[in-house]
A and B are shown apart, each in its own frame.
Chain A
């Protein structure tokens, strides 16, 4: 016995050496030869014997026409992606063996799915005996739809269990997989739906369309993540409305934008502020789309709340890097919100009752399975918030604010292939400061979209839209009484095409026409001394053609390469002022003006915007993603305040203002561990933006006919590293992230007042080097959740008064260079208890109570910083206004029935 082991080892080594010899035999193959035939001819030609069962190799064919291929390569091809393997014995015998564990594993997967009462369906593409070849790869594509309302489901996870690879459905509910031909177990999963398991036998390319049923319980969620490792692009995330509903709120208001602000790379400058900053970009550099129409002001109540009612929202997709070619015209990010369609089967309603506002959403079929309607409305009913402010400086306490928003969506299926959707959205705000000046602003957007499926693979959408943003300032004091109006209206028409397949193509044409009414001020009282001033309308037309191709290269590299070509024309009628050459752009240097007639082209800009998104799947649990985009932005938001104001001005590019051109490169490493329980990523980015606009000190921006004299051009760079770790399964789920980033600007014009900080780089208003967020949700039981979030960021930069002096009777304060100091760091902890109703599928009313504590340790974070005279020294000193100075408890009730 004791000699047997060394003997065996010797035997194995020896046989292995001989084996090398026979496996190096060179042979020629012909196209589509059955494997058995080849093996038999080899047995005839050489002293070799093959041992196998006919049924194992019956459907095997050898693909290519090749010369002098080694036997090793041939055998490898035959057994590739099958459960077969082979061994060589005694220099002449080649024994095929079948690994029972693979078949066993498949069986187990199907068995456990059946045990979990999952819906299992068998689907066969092609015929094994006819189409199967070892090593062959097949493309499987399809759509995932909701049984409930027939809507396509975005972000549904498609997981091939036996291979442990995944993808998610795109914005149109479509997905695509490349698989080895053979038998697979594919699970389809989406929030709020029951999982569906497909016992897939795929031997040829084909379609696998799936309809998911409404989930009876909500807590049994397997996956809450974006499937970030295996799908998506660098800098992409989606926000799940259900997670939103289980997060702490400010005064009971669920908020998409607030939720966005805890994502890595997204910040805001203060306690509340209109808009958000993405990777060091300005608030104007975010494209916010509501059913395809841009929304220019996304906030309510000066930024306390966002303008979108969560009850009306279907899906939210957010891109902060590697932006697809489909999107353009804003330099930093895309937030695409799709509103919810009404149910095609039954009527439902949901709503919420909060302290500040209440909302109601209703939806249902007008004609069962054919036409559905959804409508939502939200309105505020309280002014108490601003009444809390005690101040001697600005009479905030006498102020009032009110807001409302509503949305409507009508969807009608003309036939199995064509669907038409009408969507409308509106929001309105009113804010009055010290009872005198009344600010009103409103967004309106309407779109009609026709989707048509030309074939199984080609889908087209045509969207006709019109959006507008208006604000109005009204001064009621008779002496100064005036009304000032500002507005922008933008009709658009977009054509988009999507073709599935090995190369998933997207292409289209987008056109938007902008009409700006930059301002009109007129006296509205007989006693008023105000002059009437009107600044002429500005018109411009922005068009873009785009194409992108998404495909796999070498199985584990997904590439999306795209190109957008944008063309911008500034149109008349307009008066363009010309200035003394060689002198600064100053009102006093005006030499003459040129009048352009209506629709005459004043200035044209155009450019190519290459896009690239690359995903390398290093293993089933790790990937590397690279994203690059160049984007031209032809609109500029002009503001000379660091804090909030409702009266910002949008300026279209013209002779003097070139488009902002942003180039961004981001690289990320994504990893999941412990069977996808934890997801982590690190992403670094560098962004360079040309032609950003800064204001000159002391110039008036509102109603300025020569606004080019008040602005200067500079460049912006930002860079950073984002670290994120999420736990996406289990009772405790959460995310923690930290971002180090810088956002710098440089303005170095020719003249002294065209330089900022002597032309050196300086921190932009939203440069916040350290940002950290922790958010969690703990399931105390299936219906009770304890959730919270903590957020920290470096205070935004500011300039401070250094000293003061008197010149000719005037006290003058001397400030430090722009943005060389910082306001105190911002941090806040919020907690919430969420009590959901019973999870029974059949019930009349499903209610959720949310008890929230905002700012639990009563941090007085700055809402705005301003300067006022210090009574004792006579100099200017900084003061901060903290609108939230204590913990704010709130309770709200949300319901669906």
Chain B
């Protein structure tokens, strides 16, 4: 009985914690990074060249490489020049890659260094045989009551051309129509106690305050009430070829869209692009995916080094990052109507210029809308 009396006296507290691990910063010279893609779709193809910032700087804070000459070569001896369109982006217009042709990207920087990608063959894009979606309740953010809980999962069925490996990467672009109410802006009426709020519509709404601010009247079309917001995929999604014998994939989840009122005020558009990659580029995106999936897991797999396909020809010891991809592309799109959501969404009245509310959005209605 002695024991039983003693045990509760023992105060237990392990003080377990997670904290930032401060390590000596690795030597970090700014490096050149290449972000380029050429597909078999006629249009503008771009290569972005930049130098990385310091370890502590934001990932988006980079230095564009401005005075480079960028050239694309093919295995027929042709060369195509890319022009600088600003901010380190070099482009070629009205151009498309040819399936089966091999391409190499080369560029020189103003300090006289020469860089080149490995030679990449353009593979046929295959087909997306189906694109569909499924509403899933309570899939995310279960511990956060304020965040969205339900999602739409987007699935593709896909097929490669029969004579080639199905090394796919899927990326997507979504567009939704976001409505705001800039005409409902109010301001306190001067010299009143208690404070009385009166209408003060944002000018782009086309409305004006009338009757001393107690009502509004539309004088012109609203230019900032309806915006189209575009989002691109930010995670890597490549085909899992582990169990594949035929180059076909079924029900591959390529995106997960959190459901909230803003996105589904009207309807939601998503376009999935399937890129058919060379082995080297596939390997790159597969590792990116593995790195993203392993993040913030205490049983995290060992770190993954991501190698690109660019090297410095004039100084092979220079460390260059990034990837120049050459890919056959195929796309498929769908709309998700609001009625596909089997529940009521809580609406929120946003009183702002929609272009300011959703940076990067536009008030120009897309052609397909």
A and B physically associate: yes
Contacts of A355 in B (CB 8 A): 7, 10, 12
B132 within 8 A of A: no
Asked whether B21 lies within 8 Å of A823 as measured between CB atoms, the reply is: yes
Q: Which chain B residue has the least Cβ–Cβ distance from A643?
A: B299
Contacts of B304 in A (CB 8 A): 697-698, 815
Asked whether A886 lies within 8 Å of B21 as measured between CB atoms, the reply is: no
Q: Which chain B residue has the least Cβ–Cβ distance from A816?
A: B26
Asked whether A876 lies within 8 Å of B295 as measured between CB atoms, the reply is: yes
CB distance from B295 to the nearest CB of A (A): 6
Asked whether A799 lies within 8 Å of B303 as measured between CB atoms, the reply is: yes
Contacts of B131 in A (CB 8 A): none
| Complex CA distance for A867 and B300, rounded to whole angstroms | 8
A873 within 8 A of B: yes
B111 within 8 A of A: no
Contacts of B291 in A (CB 8 A): 698, 812-813
Interface of B (DSSP majority class): loop
Asked whether B242 lies within 8 Å of A868 as measured between CB atoms, the reply is: no
B217 within 8 A of A: no
| Interface locus among B31-39, B77-85, B260-268, B339-347 | B31-39
Q: Which chain A residue has the least Cβ–Cβ distance from B134?
A: A529
B192 within 8 A of A: no
Contacts of B33 in A (CB 8 A): 805, 807
| Complex CA distance for A53 and B18, rounded to whole angstroms | 86
B76 within 8 A of A: no
Q: Using a CB-CB cutoff of 8 Å, which residues 835-879 of chain A contact chain B?
A: 858, 860, 862-869, 872-879
Q: What does the 1/0 interface line of A819-836 toward B look like (CB < 8 Å)?
A: 001011000000000000
CB distance from A756 to the nearest CB of B (A): 9
B13 within 8 A of A: yes
| Complex CA distance for A83 and B213, rounded to whole angstroms | 127
Contacts of A890 in B (CB 8 A): 10
Q: Which chain B residue has the least Cβ–Cβ distance from A393?
A: B296
| Complex CA distance for A805 and B37, rounded to whole angstroms | 16
Given A388-B15, A697-B287, A881 and B57 contact (CB-CB distance below 8 Å): no
A391 within 8 A of B: yes
| Complex CA distance for A213 and B97, rounded to whole angstroms | 91
A384 within 8 A of B: yes
B62 within 8 A of A: yes
Given A533-B243, A803-B55, A879 and B19 contact (CB-CB distance below 8 Å): yes
| Complex CA distance for A807 and B18, rounded to whole angstroms | 30
Contacts of B243 in A (CB 8 A): 533, 705
Given A807-B323, A860-B19, A385 and B14 contact (CB-CB distance below 8 Å): yes
CB distance from A275 to the nearest CB of B (A): 15
| Complex CA distance for A672 and B351, rounded to whole angstroms | 87
| Interface locus among B193-201, B203-211, B232-240, B354-362 | B232-240
Asked whether A700 lies within 8 Å of B242 as measured between CB atoms, the reply is: yes
A732 within 8 A of B: no
Asked whether A808 lies within 8 Å of B171 as measured between CB atoms, the reply is: yes
Q: Which of A802, A811, A882 contacts B19 (CB 8 A)?
A: A882
Contacts of B3 in A (CB 8 A): 353, 893
Asked whether B26 lies within 8 Å of A821 as measured between CB atoms, the reply is: yes
Q: Which chain B residue has the least Cβ–Cβ distance from A855?
A: B14
A128 within 8 A of B: no
Given A704-B242, A889-B10, A390 and B16 contact (CB-CB distance below 8 Å): yes
Q: What does the 1/0 interface line of A691-729 toward B look like (CB < 8 Å)?
A: 000010111100011100000000000000000000000
Contacts of A588 in B (CB 8 A): 165, 167, 241, 279
Given A355-B12, A586-B279, A821-B26, A874 and B60 contact (CB-CB distance below 8 Å): yes
| Complex CA distance for A860 and B58, rounded to whole angstroms | 29
Contacts of A752 in B (CB 8 A): 307
A130 within 8 A of B: no
Asked whether B18 lies within 8 Å of A879 as measured between CB atoms, the reply is: yes
Asked whether B295 lies within 8 Å of A869 as measured between CB atoms, the reply is: yes
| Complex CA distance for A801 and B25, rounded to whole angstroms | 9
Q: What does the 1/0 interface line of B217-239 toward A look like (CB < 8 Å)?
A: 00000000000000011111000
CB distance from A544 to the nearest CB of B (A): 34
Contacts of B279 in A (CB 8 A): 586, 588
B288 within 8 A of A: yes
Asked whether B302 lies within 8 Å of A640 as measured between CB atoms, the reply is: yes
B292 within 8 A of A: yes
CB distance from B311 to the nearest CB of A (A): 12
CB distance from B87 to the nearest CB of A (A): 13
CB distance from A379 to the nearest CB of B (A): 16
CB distance from B243 to the nearest CB of A (A): 7
Range for the number of chain B residues in contact with chain A: 35 or more
Q: Using a CB-CB cutoff of 8 Å, which residues 273-310 of chain B contact chain A?
A: 279, 283, 286-292, 294-307
| Complex CA distance for A875 and B299, rounded to whole angstroms | 19
A800 within 8 A of B: yes
Q: Which of A798, A809, A884 contacts B16 (CB 8 A)?
A: A884
Contacts of A810 in B (CB 8 A): 234-236, 288, 292
B368 within 8 A of A: no
CB distance from A658 to the nearest CB of B (A): 23
B364 within 8 A of A: no
| Complex CA distance for A877 and B25, rounded to whole angstroms | 11
A814 within 8 A of B: yes
Asked whether A389 lies within 8 Å of B16 as measured between CB atoms, the reply is: yes
Asked whether B305 lies within 8 Å of A815 as measured between CB atoms, the reply is: yes
Q: Using a CB-CB cutoff of 8 Å, which residues 306-327 of chain B contact chain A?
A: 306-307, 321-323
CB distance from A854 to the nearest CB of B (A): 10
| Complex CA distance for A865 and B7, rounded to whole angstroms | 34
Contacts of B55 in A (CB 8 A): 801-803, 873, 875
Most buried by B among A588, A808, A876, A889: A808
Q: What does the 1/0 interface line of A533-544 toward B look like (CB < 8 Å)?
A: 100000000000
Contacts of A877 in B (CB 8 A): 20-21
| Complex CA distance for A888 and B17, rounded to whole angstroms | 14
B53 within 8 A of A: yes
Asked whether B165 lies within 8 Å of A886 as measured between CB atoms, the reply is: no
A314 within 8 A of B: no
Contacts of A529 in B (CB 8 A): 251
Contacts of A533 in B (CB 8 A): 243
Most buried by A among B24, B232, B243, B286: B243
B367 within 8 A of A: no
CB distance from A270 to the nearest CB of B (A): 12
Contacts of B302 in A (CB 8 A): 640-642, 695, 765, 799, 818
| Complex CA distance for A389 and B3, rounded to whole angstroms | 28
A126 within 8 A of B: no
Given A394-B297, A700-B242, A862-B21, A881 and B234 contact (CB-CB distance below 8 Å): no
| Complex CA distance for A858 and B289, rounded to whole angstroms | 38
Q: What does the 1/0 interface line of B150-188 toward A look like (CB < 8 Å)?
A: 000000000000000101000100000000000000000
Asked whether A812 lies within 8 Å of B300 as measured between CB atoms, the reply is: no
A422 within 8 A of B: no
B136 within 8 A of A: yes
Asked whether A885 lies within 8 Å of B16 as measured between CB atoms, the reply is: yes
Given A389-B16, A800-B23, A864 and B299 contact (CB-CB distance below 8 Å): yes
Q: Using a CB-CB cutoff of 8 Å, which residues 520-577 of chain A contact chain B?
A: 529, 533
Asked whether A889 lies within 8 Å of B21 as measured between CB atoms, the reply is: no
| Complex CA distance for A805 and B60, rounded to whole angstroms | 7
B146 within 8 A of A: no
A883 within 8 A of B: yes
Asked whether B292 lies within 8 Å of A884 as measured between CB atoms, the reply is: no
Q: Which of B20, B136, B236, B306 contacts A879 (CB 8 A)?
A: B20
Asked whether B26 lies within 8 Å of A706 as measured between CB atoms, the reply is: no
B94 within 8 A of A: no
Asked whether B305 lies within 8 Å of A860 as measured between CB atoms, the reply is: no
Enumerate 16 A-B pairs (CB-CB under 8 Å) in ascending A order. Answer: A394-B296, A394-B298, A587-B244, A640-B302, A697-B287, A697-B304, A698-B283, A805-B321, A811-B59, A824-B21, A860-B17, A863-B16, A873-B57, A874-B60, A880-B18, A882-B19
Interface pairs A-B: 7 shortest CB-CB: A885-B15, A874-B59, A698-B290, A886-B15, A698-B287, A389-B16, A868-B296
Taking A587-B241, A882-B19 as known contacts, 4 extra A-B pairs with beta carbons closer than 8 A to each other, sorted by chain A number, are: A391-B18, A698-B287, A765-B302, A798-B303
